[in-house]
């Protein structure tokens, strides 16, 4: 088992600026010095980077301001994905000074796919199924809305475009009972890396605590291992982190979305 430091080094080198190839229609990538501006995935936008290459002080302020101007001119909000080990240490203060608002802290956790790829333990009355149809994507959007509130139609649209561009790039799994989706999650197979990344996992409140989320993780781990991916990675919330650590995931750093809105 690699150490946490080795896992973090692999994550930094392979995942942080990895982009889909081919790029789905409507998604775009632009570079500005050490930064990557990424627009896509449910009409959202991010500023990503492997590291800032020593940019600090006034030069860093100008780099941040340039991103704000870019997105403000387009009337588009965006997220600066800040990691706990990013430098310089005053970066969070500088982001707040430019109008960014930090959201909830998450933890980057990584595990060897082969160690997590165990037979999923069935939950009574619940079955797992891989889906591709637009009807099922709309059902997933309905689940997300029921769990989190809001409108998730853009999520269904984005996943549909992603699937249409490269059907082998991700697998989507639902847990359902009596034709009702009670949990949904997907796994992206990151081309050119050793990583598969886990997304989703929202579960209806009345179905939590029954092992459904653990089964969804195991199912996706099997898919990743079958395709030869060495690692699983996900951004874990405070709710999912304890479950994932018990399954064998190692925390390697944190991530905080710093969000700017027009």
Which part of the chain has CATH 3.40.630.30?
A: 111-254
Residue 88: asked if its preceding bond is cis (omega within 30°), the reply is: yes
What pLDDT is recorded for position 8?
Answer: 98
The residues facing 44 across adjacent strands are 40
With H, G, I as helix, E, B as strand and everything else as coil, classify residue 68.
helix
The CATH number of 4-106, from 1.10.3470, 2.40.50, 3.40.630, 3.30.1890, is: 3.40.630
Handedness of CA 158, 159, 165, 166 (dihedral sign): positive
What pLDDT is recorded for position 1?
Answer: 82
What pLDDT is recorded for position 26?
Answer: 87
Q: What gap in Å lies between CA 185 and CA 132, rounded to an integer?
A: 13
The one-digit pLDDT tens for each residue of the chain (262 residues) are 899 999 999 999 999 999 998 999 889 999 999 999 999 877 899 999 999 999 999 999 999 999 999 999 999 999 999 999 999 999 999 999 999 999 999 999 999 999 999 999 889 999 999 999 999 999 999 999 999 999 999 999 999 999 999 999 999 999 999 889 999 999 999 999 999 999 999 999 999 999 999 999 999 999 999 999 999 999 999 999 999 999 999 999 999 999 999 9
What pLDDT is recorded for position 40?
Answer: 84
Q: What gap in Å lies between CA 20 and CA 41, rounded to an integer?
A: 11
What pLDDT is recorded for position 43?
Answer: 80
CATH number for the region 111-254 comes to 3.40.630.30
What pLDDT is recorded for position 227?
Answer: 97
H, E, C per residue of 138-187: HHHHHHHHHHHCCCCHHHHHHHHHHHHHCCCCEEEEEEEECCEEEEEEEE
Burial label, 150 (beta-carbon count in 10 A; 0-12, 13-18, 19+)? exposed
């Amino acid at each position: 088992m690699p150490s946490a430091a080795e896992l973090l080094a692999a994550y930094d080198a392979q995942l942080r600026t990895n982009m889909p190839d081919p790029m789905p229609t409507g998604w775009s990538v632009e570079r500005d010095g050490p930064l990557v501006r990424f627009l896509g995935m449910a009409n959202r936008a991010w500023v990503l980077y492997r590291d800032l290459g020593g940019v600090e002080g006034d030069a860093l302020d100008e780099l941040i301001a340039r991103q704000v101007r870019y997105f403000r001119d387009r009337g588009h909000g965006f997220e600066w994905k800040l990691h706990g080990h990013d430098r310089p240490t005053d970066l969070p203060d500088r982001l707040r000074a430019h109008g960014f608002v930090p959201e909830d802290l998450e933890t980057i956790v990584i595990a060897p796919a082969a160690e997590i790829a165990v037979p999923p333990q069935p939950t009574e009355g619940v079955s797992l199924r891989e889906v591709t149809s637009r009807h099922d994507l709309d059902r997933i959007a309905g689940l997300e809305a029921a769990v989190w509130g809001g409108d998730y139609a853009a999520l269904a649209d984005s996943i549909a475009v992603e699937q249409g561009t490269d059907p082998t790039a991700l697998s989507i799994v639902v847990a359902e009972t009596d034709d009702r989706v009670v949990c949904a999650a997907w796994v992206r197979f990151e081309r050119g890396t050793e990583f598969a990344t886990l997304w989703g996992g929202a579960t209806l409140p009345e179905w939590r605590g029954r092992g459904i989320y653990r089964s969804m993780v195991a199912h996706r781990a099997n898919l990743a291992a079958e395709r030869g991916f060495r690692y699983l990675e996900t951004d874990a919330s405070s709710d999912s982190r304890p479950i994932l650590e018990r399954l064998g995931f190692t925390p390697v750093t944190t991530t905080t979305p710093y969000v700017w809105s027009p």
